[in-house]
Structure 1
Amino acid sequence: MTPLKRTITYEKNIDIGYIYITPQAKHMKIKETIELDVNECVNVDIDQEGRVAGLELFAEESKLLRNVPIYEDELSLRLTDQEILSTYQLSGVEFQFSTPDHNGLIGFTIVDPIRYNVK
């Protein structure tokens, strides 16, 4: 059986993209949407259980979604092979950025797999 892939969308005409953190996140009910404290171009959808369901990317942050991810498994997604220069954790997910000031989102890793029902 082939594992389900994440859903990633990108609306080129308005530079907005969306990444579902796990394949099942597409079916989760969203409790709230918050702006990532360290980057105003990343909104985070939080589900009823307090988990990150998905990421909405705006402006420059969304442009990476035009390309196919270079690496993806159940716990991680990398959009480029750039060096990780800063990270930020929220609800069991580590967000990785290509600049020291948390710009240039390049991927994420689920650091609390039990919370996300990932093995």
Structure 2
Amino acid sequence: MKAVTYDTDSELAYIYVLPPKRNRNIRSEELKVNDCILLDIDQDGKIAGFECFGEAAHLCAPFTGKSRLYVKDSDGYHFRARHHAAVRSCYTVYGVTFCFSDGNYQEFAGFDLDGTMYHSAFLQRLTEK
């Protein structure tokens, strides 16, 4: 299973937070603080995955096909597209904290998943050991 896909023609990255399901009822909404991130919300109120456009997509593209995407600790799962950038602003929605390396929520740095909402064999398979 690929956790990150990237379409070179449209320059769009997609990150799966939950395993894809054919009959999943999903609605989409834009991340309120950054219009380059579009969230897919499942029927349980969790983020199933999200699309990234622009610079965020380019940052996520190198992770396409990677078998280890997350780092896990007692707080949950963490993904950083900008490994050495300081996080200067965060926005939390549906148990996912989106992190940005600027104060205006424009420079996507990664995200953190709440360990109480998002804990699955799917995420564990994608986690560094």
TM-score interval for Structure 1 and Structure 2 normalised by the shorter chain: 0.7 to 0.9
User: Please, which of 36, 59, 62 is the counterpart of residue 64 of structure 1?
Assistant: 59
Aligned to 2:97: 94
Q: Per the alignment, in what secondary structure is the counterpart of residue 86 of structure 2?
A: coil
Matched, 1:17 2:13: yes
Q: Which has the higher contact order (CA 8 A, sep 6+)?
A: 2
TM-superposed deviation, 1:71:
5.9
Q: Is the 8 A contact 1:7 1:20 kept in 2?
A: yes
TM-superposed deviation, 1:85:
0.9
Q: Is the 8 A contact 1:94 1:108 kept in 2?
A: yes
Gaps of 5+ in 1: none
Q: TM-score scaled to structure 1, two decimals? A: 0.82
Residue 80 of structure 1 aligns with an amino acid whose one-letter code is R
Residue correspondences, number: 112
Q: Is the 8 A contact 1:79 1:107 kept in 2?
A: yes
What is the 5 A alignment of 1:24-43?
A: 24=19, 26-27=20-21, 29-43=24-38
Measured against aligned partners, the alpha-carbon deviations of 1:32-79 in whole angstroms (never above 9, x if no partner) come to: 100000000000000000001111011222111222379623511111
Matched, 1:78 2:73: no
TM-superposed deviation, 1:105:
1.2
Residue 27 of structure 1 aligns with an amino acid whose one-letter code is K
Within 1, Cα distance between the matches of 2:69 and 2:48?
19
Measured against aligned partners, the alpha-carbon deviations of 1:10-48 in whole angstroms (never above 9, x if no partner) come to: 1122111100114x3x22714210000000000000000
